[in-house]
Amino acid sequence: MHVLVTGATGYIGGRLVPRLLRRGHRVRVFVRDPRRVLARPWAHEVEVVRGDLNDGASIRDALEGVDAAFYLVHAMGGRDDFAAQDRAWAAGFVEAARSVDPGLRVVYLGGLLPPHDGSRRGSKHLSSRAEVGEILRHGLAQALEFRAGPVIGSGSASFEMVRYLTERLPAMIAPKWIRNPVQPVGIRNVLVYLTEALERPEATGVVEIGADRRTFRDMMLQYAEVRGLRRVIVPVPVLAPSLAARWVGLVTPIPNGLAVPLVEGVVQPVLADTTRARALFPEVEPMAYRDAVELALKRTWEGRVVTRWSGALGATPAYRFEDSEGMVQEVRTRSVAAEPEAVYRAFASLGGRRGWRVWRPLWALRGLLDQIVGGPGLRRGRRHPVDLEPGEAVDFWRVEEARAPELLRLRAEMKVPGRAWLQWEAVPDGPGRTRMVQTAFFVPSGLLGVLYWYSLYPVHRYIFSDLVDAVAADAEAGRPDPFPRAEPS
């Protein structure tokens, strides 16, 4: 089929597109800024149409000739007028679709509603999502609205909220409504439902999807069990959702504008009636919550987070700090007037007798402290002044990957409350130039790990900045000697 995907740069859309391509569909994506899809591995396989949901003509152009469309956009994120914006976008999309093809198949992903009377009282955000579904279904005969609870997957906002709250707080006071039952669903199942919907023309109206039922408290405790953490959660009678959302915004990287709808989604019991889902999609066996958590963690640790809740693409700045998916990253980028081979030699020669180039007393102190608490310290040195092989030691690091002249990644073996890596990449950037990217990674273990990293952040800021500058200067000066003599044994 020829399929249009709106929201292709978002969390769901960015994962749906490659699945559609693997199924043999022709895919067209509708984006405001085509540059936002250029970094996607599937960018060369899709047709990119530039447009805006406020512009009916561009929507009609995007819909021309397609057999089906996915509507995966919303205006949540802190705007006061998000409901009016969502309403206008949906109405404009319906109007354009009816003018092009009144029988067009449209698939939309919304949210579950509280069970009271279907009037969408309570959460403004859930109300808005449901209103969008109504506009699409009432305006287009072949519209299908999936309603899902918290989506659990690597990089999803719901998973990140659970992860950060559980990882960072060994004990917490929480509102009593964390005992309300909810019904999460794995991202893998969501994508299967969306993909299969193209081939089920009989599936119209509303289909609610979800896996096992549990409370939000259970979600956190089961995450803790998977991670081997002991956590204490004490419910208290009163804590307003707005205050809870601000707390989520403080403890996690999720901004308040997105934390509010996430919190509102568990303030009341929100469960799915999966009767229609089982009848229309009998081959889909929803993944248990624990399995979804384990898979999300595995993808995160492997560095295979395809999309994340922020959904933003942009140019790499000289410095970038990111705290996401349970991992802190400090990324520093320099443009170096040297070939990648020279840049690789410069960062691959760090440690051992040559040392770490900058702030030598602090490196020596760190090594001594590590030795005192039972770590290797700086005693191990290195085998060769420049050459490195995966698995060998460099001071208190272990070479995890060495791929000359492109990449070097060292895994920390010093005693720290978490896991840490230091990585360099040498990327060709035109004749005689290389873009060098130095990244410090840290996965904290509980609150102690968080306190450890952020307490050292002011020191790291200077050490790592000076280190990347020193490596760039070495590469431009041709240091070290490309053919050094081996260190004496």
The reply to whether 348 and 276 lie within a common domain is no
Residue 436: pLDDT over 60: yes
The reply to whether 297 and 374 lie within a common domain is no
Higher pLDDT pick, 432 / 206: 206
Residue 316: pLDDT over 80: no
Tell me if 308 is assigned to some domain: no
Which whole number is the average pLDDT over 432-456?
89
Domain end call among 301, 334, 354 = 301
Ranges 31-40, 126-135, 476-485: which has the least confidence: 476-485
Q: Where does the pLDDT of residue 488 fall: very low under 50, low under 70, confident under 90, or very high at 90 and above?
A: very low
Q: What is the pLDDT of residue 92?
A: 96
For a pLDDT cut of 90, what percent of the chain falls above it?
A: 56
The reply to whether 267 and 194 lie within a common domain is yes
The reply to whether 326 and 181 lie within a common domain is no
| Number of domains within the chain | 2
Quote the CA–CA distance of 108 and 362 in Å, as a whole number.
Answer: 55
Residue 250: pLDDT over 70: no
For 253-297, write each residue's pLDDT tens digit.
Answer: 676 666 777 777 777 788 999 999 999 999 999 999 999 999 999
Higher pLDDT pick, 399 / 173: 399
Torsion of CA 339, 423, 156, 173, to 10 degrees: -150
The reply to whether 366 and 296 lie within a common domain is no
| Arithmetic mean of pLDDT over the chain | 87
Residue 423: pLDDT over 60: yes
Residue 461: pLDDT over 90: no
Q: Where does the pLDDT of residue 118 fall: very low under 50, low under 70, confident under 90, or very high at 90 and above?
A: very low
For 192-209, write each residue's pLDDT tens digit.
Answer: 999 999 999 899 999 999
Domain end call among 243, 269, 301 = 301
As a three-state string, the secondary structure of the chain is: CEEEEECCCCCCHHHHHHHHHHCCCEEEEEECCHHHHCCCCCHHHCEEEECCCCCHHHHHHHHCCCCEEEECCCCCCCCCCHHHHHHHHHHHHHHHHHHHCCCCEEEEEEECCCCCCCCCCCCHHHHHHHHHHHHHHHHCCCEEEEEECCEECCCCHHHHHHHHHHHHCCEEEEEHHHHCEECCEEHHHHHHHHHHHCCCCCCCEEEEECCCCEEHHHHHHHHHHHHCCCCEEEEECCCCHHHHHHHHHHHCCCCHHHHHHHHHHHHCCECCCCHHHHHHCCCCCCCCHHHHHHHHHHHHHCCCCCCCCCCCCCCCCCEEEEEECCEEEEEEEEEECCCHHHHHHHHHCCCHHHCCCCCHHHHHHHHHHHHHCCCCCCCCCCCCCCCCCCCCEECCEEEEEEECCCEEEEEECCCCCEEEEEEEEEEECCCCCEEEEEEEEEEECHHHHHHHHHHHHHHHHHHHHHHHHHHHHHHHHCCCCCCCCCCCC
Q: Where does the pLDDT of residue 410 fall: very low under 50, low under 70, confident under 90, or very high at 90 and above?
A: very high
What would the two tokens of residue 315 be? 């140019």
Which whole number is the average pLDDT over 62-84?
83
For a pLDDT cut of 70, what percent of the chain falls above it?
A: 89
Residue 78: pLDDT over 50: no
For 222-231, write each residue's pLDDT tens digit.
Answer: 999 999 999 9
The reply to whether 125 and 187 lie within a common domain is yes
Q: Where does the pLDDT of residue 348 fall: very low under 50, low under 70, confident under 90, or very high at 90 and above?
A: very high
Tell me if 387 is assigned to some domain: yes
Tell me if 279 is assigned to some domain: yes
Q: What is the pLDDT of residue 482?
A: 57
Residue 168: pLDDT over 60: yes
- For helices 82-100 and 56-63, give the axis angle rounded to 10 degrees: 50
Q: What is the pLDDT of residue 88?
A: 93
Which residues, at least 6 apart from 286, have a Cβ–Cβ distance to it below 8 Å? 185, 186, 189, 209, 210, 211, 212, 274
Q: What backbone torsions phi and psi does residue 331 show, to the nearest 5 degrees?
A: -110, 125
Domain end call among 267, 301, 335 = 301
Which residues, at least 6 apart from 199, have a Cβ–Cβ distance to it below 8 Å? none
Residue 85: pLDDT over 60: yes
Tell me if 410 is assigned to some domain: yes
Q: Where does the pLDDT of residue 150 fall: very low under 50, low under 70, confident under 90, or very high at 90 and above?
A: very high
The residue type at 12: I
Q: What is the CATH number of the domain that holds 401?
A: 3.30.530.20
Ranges 233-247, 339-353, 403-417: which has the least confidence: 233-247
Tell me if 483 is assigned to some domain: no
Which residues, at least 6 apart from 6, have a Cβ–Cβ distance to it below 8 Å? 13, 29, 30, 53, 62, 69, 70, 71, 72, 73, 93
Residue 411: name the closest of 395, 399, 394 by CA: 399
The reply to whether 68 and 186 lie within a common domain is yes
Range of the domain at 184: 2-301
Q: What is the pLDDT of residue 261?
A: 73
Quote the CA–CA distance of 45 and 19 in Å, as a whole number.
Answer: 12
Which whole number is the average pLDDT over 41-70?
94
Q: What is the pLDDT of residue 314?
A: 35
Q: What is the CATH number of the domain that holds 206?
A: 3.40.50.720
Q: Say if CB 145 and CB 105 are below 8 A apart.
A: no
Higher pLDDT pick, 401 / 251: 401
Q: What is the pLDDT of residue 105?
A: 96
Q: What is the pLDDT of residue 485?
A: 47
The reply to whether 244 and 381 lie within a common domain is no
